Amino acid sequence: MCDYDTIENMVKNASIQTILEIKPIQGADFIEVCRVLGWQTVIKKDQYRIGDKIIFVPIDTVLPLCEWSSFLQDKKDSSKPIIVKTCKMKNTISQGVIFPLNILPEASYEEGQDVSEILGIKHYESPLPQNTEAIGKFPTVYLSITDEDNMKNSLDAYNELKDCGFDIEVTLKIDGTSASYITPVDDNTMVCSRRLSLKDNDNVYWKIGRRYKLIDTFKGLAISGEIYGDGIQKNKLKITGNDLAVFNVKNLIENRIYNPQELTDFCVRENLKKVPTLKVFKSGELPDIDALQEYVNDLKYPNGTPAEGAVFRPRETLYSNSLQKELSLKLINQNYKD
């Protein structure tokens, strides 16, 4: 069985990488754009060269307040957390931040090495809805903490997806809060946010669980989805009340994740909503990452606001050697604002 605590620690919020490409920005005298992994990032002109080893920090990360991050601190309130987000400079999208190696303690560092802990860089966690109280950590002995890997962080995983030999299903990424309903065969249901096991104090997680009869009903299954609506992440879909879109079901007895067709059939049978399927790419026809990014940038929710992004999964559940878990990748809409 996978050690899911180990998998969670594999998420690289800062790593040693190489600058693969540098291009000028039209009309810009002091900045240019570079490529690291699958990311495009704006940098100061002439500060770096192609082939330089650097520290790359992707979006959705929180930087410590210190000397080397001071240029990113809020000018009006330097105590505010520094959250790395997608931004635009001179009409050029920039995702992530690059730092020189000299902010690290003197040592020998390898390509791809995770330096998040050394620098105190963490993954950004959205605030939980009100009235949410934890009673413990997420029970990783049963289920992985939901943390979809970004396609731009793992080009090896993208290649695995492209060459997997199965059709690729694309689903809409719902902007909400992750919820899991884990019911072992010999125990009661554990209701969880993305990282915590939650107390039953009439919060939205338990309310949704009761509405859809997810509490102590599906013995031997773990059901995960996104709760969205009023009071959650500014309610980007602008719905009244709250709802759940299921994106994963795991058979705890067989230790396997349902494939997309099994997930669809389960949701239809149990009167649950599955995350919307946007399209299916035929085997061997998955476009390159830049083309997929353009596709994702056009995605909108039914109310017309930019969608958060999309998730790409083969139509058969496959293990990824590069991710060391099930093969599944996301891309974030560059027009999305949280």
Structure confidence by residue, pLDDT tens digits, 130-182: 788 999 999 999 998 867 899 999 899 999 999 999 999 999 999 999 999 99
Average of pLDDT values for 228-234?
A: 94
Asked if 138 and 73 sit in the same domain, the reply is: no
CA distance 121 to 251: 34
Q: How much is the average pLDDT of 15-39?
A: 95
- Give the count of beta carbons closer than 10 Å to the beta carbon of residue 132: 17
**Residue 170 to residue 315: CA distance in whole angstroms:** 10
Cα distance between residue 51 and residue 54, in whole Å: 9
Domain stops at, among 98, 123, 148: 123
Instruction: Mark whether 164 and 66 lie in a shared domain.
Output: no
Q: Name the band, by pLDDT with cuts 50, 70 and 90, for residue 202.
A: confident
38: in domain: yes
Q: Looking at the structure, do residues 325 and 290 belong to the same domain, yes or no?
A: yes
Q: What's the Cα-to-Cα distance from 160 to each of 61, 324, 325, rounded to whole Å?
A: 26, 12, 12
pLDDT reported for residue 147? 73
Q: What integer best gives the mean pLDDT of the chain?
A: 93
In a domain, 338, yes or no: no
The closest alpha carbon to 315, from 276, 262, 245, 265, belongs to 262
Q: Is residue 337 part of a domain?
A: no
Can you give 108-172 as a three-state secondary structure string? CCCCCCECHHHHCCEECCCCCCCCCCEEEECCCCCCCCCCCEEHHHCHHHHHHHHCCCCCEEEEE
281, part of any domain: yes
- pLDDT at residue 8 greater than cutoff 50: no
> How far are the Cα atoms of 71, 92, 120, 136, 305 from residue 74, in angstroms, in the given order?
9, 22, 19, 34, 27
Angle at 229 between CA 63 and CA 216, to 5 degrees: 95
- The whole model's pTM is what? 0.88
Residues 194-213, mean pLDDT to the nearest whole number: 95
Instruction: Give me the mean pLDDT over the 14-42 stretch.
Output: 95
Residues 42 and 178 in one domain: no
Identify whether residues 211 and 328 lie together within a single domain: yes
261 DSSP assignment: H
Of the residues 92, 123, 154, which one is the last residue of a structural domain?
123
308 within domain boundaries: yes
Residue 120, exposed/middle/buried by CB under 10 A (0-12, 13-18, 19+)? middle
Number of domains within the chain: 2
Co-location of 56 and 13 in the same domain: yes
Q: Is the domain of 114 the same as that of 167? A: no
Identify the CA nearest to 213 among candidates 223, 203, 198, 228: 223
Tell whether the torsion through CA atoms of 333, 245, 283 and 165 is positive or negative. positive
Do 278 and 194 have their domain in common?
yes
pLDDT the model gives residue 5: 37
- Residues 162, 182, single domain; the answer is yes
Q: Is 297 helix (H, G, I), strand (E, B) or coil?
A: helix
- What is residue 316's three-state secondary structure? coil
For residue 178, CA distances in Å to 49, 172, 202, 222 come to 40, 14, 17, 13
Domain boundary among 65, 92, 123: 123
Tell whether 128 is covered by a domain.
no
192-to-165, 204, 310 alpha-carbon distances in Å: 34, 11, 23
DSSP state of 268: H
- pLDDT of 2 higher than 70: no
The pLDDT score that the predictor gives to residue 203 is: 94
Range of the structural domain that residue 216 is part of: 134-332
In terms of domains, do 140 and 111 share one? no
pLDDT number for residue 144: 85
Burial class of 38 by CB neighbour count within 10 A (0 to 12, 13 to 18, 19+): buried
Domain identity same for 188 and 143: yes
**Low-confidence winner among 1-5, 260-264, 322-326 (lowest mean pLDDT):** 1-5
Tell me, what CATH number does 192's domain have? 3.30.470.30
In terms of domains, do 28 and 162 share one?
no
77-134 pLDDT, tens digit per residue, is 888 999 999 999 999 999 999 999 999 999 999 999 999 999 999 999 888 887 889 9
Q: What is the CATH number of the domain that holds 9?
A: 2.40.50
Write down the pLDDT at residue 11: 62
